[in-house]
Amino acid sequence: MSYAEQYKSKLVSPEKAVSVVKSGDWIDYGFGHTKPVGLDSALAARKDELKDINIRHCLSLSAHACLEADPEGKVFTLNNWHFSGYDRKKHDLGRCYYHPMIFRNQPLFYRKSIKSLDVAMLRVSKMDKDGFFSTHMGNAAVRAVADVAKKIILEVNPLLPWAMGGAEETIHISEVDYVVEFDSKIEVIPPAAPTEIDKQIAAHIVPLIPNGACIQLGIGGLPNYIGSQLAHSDLKDLGCHTEMLVDAYFHMYEAGKLTNKKKGIDKNKSAYAFAAGSQFLYDWLNENPSLASYPVSYTNAPHIMAQNDNMVSINACVEVDLFGQVSSESSGPRHISGTGGQLDYATGAYMSNGGVSFICCNAAYTDKKTGAKKSRIVPMLPQGSIVTVPRTQAHLIVTEYGVADLAGKSTWQRAEALINIAPPDLRDGLIKEAEKMNIWRKKW
């Protein structure tokens, strides 16, 4: 039977495809853009027939029909590897739960610990002549999802781009139980407009990046803005080895800055695990052999990224305590996002010859309840805060007031460096707290 014949024999309606789901099943929607739309709606329509359905996903880019159809959570529960704004709101309502992970381990979690799931429902590109579907902007751990799924249902959307490999970026028709054709708009995630503080932070970082640096940009507006400034800099021959492909990389490429010529691995190619941004980013990604889609077990492996000299990692955080512990995923016990690859890249970038890891935040914020100005450099992390990067792996912390280099420093040196990038009017209070904790060295 030809691939086209196999495809036709497996082509069904969304309603027929989701009929394989039974009460108690675990369903997986993959990563970001691989979340199906037609299948999600068809599954939501079965709410009154089913019980105890768990849906696993990573980074929701649109609303889940199953959750919206079941506001009290009697049938559907969402479990997520990394929160978007939508996931965070559902978590606050008790509708979404977090899967703790270091991102590079996600494929391993499926293959080694989860081992089996009932149904994988994934939105993919059109099939090529050889029977393959592309996982487009959502490689990450999707191949691992397919490997452990008892049943695989693909939702084909012709609007999705084809991502070149890399590795583990495709699923073959021979593996698939059902195929559904369903057109849905592709979610665009344009970067937030930079603030004046973002511009000040970028002004500290850009001059520290050398020619030939290999760049990783984390999720959020600030890393993307810093990347876009590299496109306007005098730098040459930049490289890309990242988990997340964002608009800034296209701007660097268009400006002639992104050549990947100096990379130690995947030379002349930009390596990434997923993409989220504007439509022009997705258009650039489509069938582009200079871009290589990989699973996070590759892009986020410190020993892989460290093969690139001058690896530069740029990420954002919520707050940092005077010991150098970085919290990037929660505000106290309230979960905000996820560990993602921040620890992966903080580790691998520092391992690289000439590499550095920048973690950035505004120096202060205004408390919504009291209106008081509060520092994001704090004596100790609030109770319940999650440590994303331990003090043992923290390198360069950046605010609008400067850069604090923590690597290899004693506790008093760390406290002093961090207080020096805190808001000037709040530094005396931080010094007093450091003295109480016995991590402040008096000058005689």
Indicate the CATH number for domain 196-436.
3.40.1080.20
Residue with tokens 């889940």: 64
What pLDDT does residue 206 have? 96
Give yes or no for residue 442 having a pLDDT over 90.
no
What pLDDT does residue 248 have? 95
pLDDT digits (tens, 9 = 90+) for 356-371: 999 999 999 998 889 9
At 192, the pLDDT band (50, 70, 90 cuts) reads: confident
Q: Letter for the amino acid at 247?
A: D
At 89, the pLDDT band (50, 70, 90 cuts) reads: very high
At 413, the pLDDT band (50, 70, 90 cuts) reads: very high
pLDDT digits (tens, 9 = 90+) for 362-395: 999 998 889 999 999 999 999 999 999 999 999 9
Region(s) of the chain under CATH 3.40.1080.10 = 11-181
* Residue 412 and residue 438 in contact, taking contact as beta carbons nearer than 8 Å: no
User: Six-digit token pair at 10?
Assistant: 């497996």
For the beta carbon of residue 312, count every other beta carbon within 10 angstroms: 28
pLDDT digits (tens, 9 = 90+) for 278-335: 999 999 999 999 999 999 999 999 999 999 999 999 999 999 999 999 999 999 999 9
CA dist 87 and 95 (Å) reads 9
Give yes or no for residue 443 having a pLDDT over 90.
no
User: Six-digit token pair at 65?
Assistant: 């029909």
User: Six-digit token pair at 34?
Assistant: 């691989």
Mean pLDDT of 349-357: 98
For the beta carbon of residue 68, count every other beta carbon within 10 angstroms: 13
Give yes or no for residue 444 having a pLDDT over 80.
no
* Residue 342 and residue 359 in contact, taking contact as beta carbons nearer than 8 Å: yes
CA dist 219 and 246 (Å) reads 8
Q: Is 243 among the catalytic positions? A: yes
Q: pTM, whole model, 2 decimals?
A: 0.96
- CATH architecture, range 11-181: 3-Layer(aba) Sandwich (3.40)
Given the residues 243, 329, 400, 433, select the one marked as catalytic: 243
Q: 117, 137, 114: which is closest to 125 by C-alpha?
A: 137
CA dist 336 and 416 (Å) reads 29
DSSP 92: H
What pLDDT does residue 373 have? 95
User: Six-digit token pair at 254?
Assistant: 């268009």
